[in-house]
Amino acid sequence: MIEQGTTNADIKSLRILCAALMVGMIIFTAIAVAINSFDPIANDSLQVYSNIALAVSVGFALIFFLTARYFFSKRMIAIKNSSVNVYEKLNQYRTAFVSYMALCEAPGLLAVVLFLLSGVYWLLLVPIAMILAIAAKFPTKQKLINDMELNWTEQQEME
């Protein structure tokens, strides 16, 4: 049996981590927009590459997002089929979740850097999409239960 409050503390720590990554990306994007508005870093020589930067950023975002979803779902299948206790399943879920967030955050941060260099506002759609992808997986107890497909006994252990 899991100690009382352990799973709640673990879920809370996942929420804090998730919120911190989203807020960090939002703040970085806001700072980049402010810098670009007041004193643009981008120069005319880089404008030639702005379409390439947009294509690369969107391409990386798609590849990384699809990879994140694929590996997350593979890990959820492995967790569902494992015979370990709930606490170990929660540890495995944490690993899968952090990997998912990292794979979603990387192209968002790349797009913000490319925005700083090129000044193309369309690039800001990538971090917005990645923030939404992370927010869609925001951990709640019910999401964890659904993702890991815990049986009734395991759900009671999480209480």
Identify which of 5, 4, 21, 2 has the alpha carbon closest to the alpha carbon of residue 97: 21
Mark out the alpha helices in 3-151 (DSSP H runs): 6-38, 44-47, 50-81, 86-118, 125-136, 141-148
| Residue 108 pLDDT | 97
Q: What is the pLDDT of residues 126-154, one digit of tens each?
A: 999 999 999 999 999 889 888 888 888 88
Structural tokens at position 116: 């700083």
Residue 158 lies in a domain: no
Q: What is the pLDDT of residues 91-117, one digit of tens each?
A: 999 999 999 999 999 999 999 999 988
How far is CA 50 from its chain centroid? 25
Domain assignment of residue 117, given as a range: 6-152
Residue 159 lies in a domain: no
Residue 157 lies in a domain: no
Residue 27 lies in a domain: yes
What CA dihedral angle connects 16, 22, 24 and 25, to 10 degrees?
Answer: 170
Residue with the larger pLDDT of the pair 107 and 82: 107
Residue with the larger pLDDT of the pair 52 and 27: 27
Residue 122 lies in a domain: yes
Q: HSE (CB half, 13 Å, CA atoms) of 51?
A: 1
**First-last CA distance in the chain:** 10
Q: Residue 69: how many CB atoms within 10 A of its CB?
A: 15
How many distinct structural domains can be found in the chain?
Answer: 1
Residue 26 lies in a domain: yes
Residue 80 lies in a domain: yes
Identify which of 65, 139, 66 has the alpha carbon closest to the alpha carbon of residue 105: 65
Average confidence score pLDDT of the chain: 89
